């Protein structure tokens, strides 16, 4: 299971699971060479990341993991 949750004490664990540096990399530093004109890319295994950090990873049979950073 993957948890990229900045509010770690509310939902998952008593200690931080993902560092601020890693969160910043995932949310703010996509590789421009991988971004398509519609905003989608496969950097770091995400199928779509928009300018506000909203992330989607498609799954099998139409399932998806959706992360809203707000």
The parent domain of residue 56 ranges over 8-67
Report pLDDT for 64: 86
Report pLDDT for 39: 64
String of b and e for 13-50 (b: at least 16 CB within 10 Å)? eeeeebeeeebeebbeebeeeeeeeeeebebbebebbe
Domains of the chain: total: 1
* The two three-digit tokens of residue 43, written as one number: 């950097």
Report pLDDT for 66: 86
Alpha-carbon distances, residue 12 vs 3, 18, 22, 26, 67 (angstroms): 8, 11, 17, 19, 15
* The two three-digit tokens of residue 34, written as one number: 């991988």
User: For the whole model, what pTM was predicted?
Assistant: 0.38
Q: Give me the tens of pLDDT residue by residue for the chain, a chain 70 residues long.
A: 555 555 544 555 667 777 888 877 777 776 666 666 776 655 557 788 888 888 888 888 888 888 887 7
In a domain, 1, yes or no: no
In a domain, 17, yes or no: yes
């Amino acid at each position: 299971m993957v948890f990229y949750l900045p509010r770690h004490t509310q939902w998952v664990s008593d200690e931080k699971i993902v560092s601020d540096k890693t969160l910043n990399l995932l949310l703010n530093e996509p590789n421009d060479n991988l971004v398509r004109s519609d905003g989608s890319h496969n950097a770091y295994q995400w199928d779509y990341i928009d300018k506000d950090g909203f992330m989607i990873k498609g799954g099998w049979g139409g399932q998806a993991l959706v992360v809203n950073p707000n």
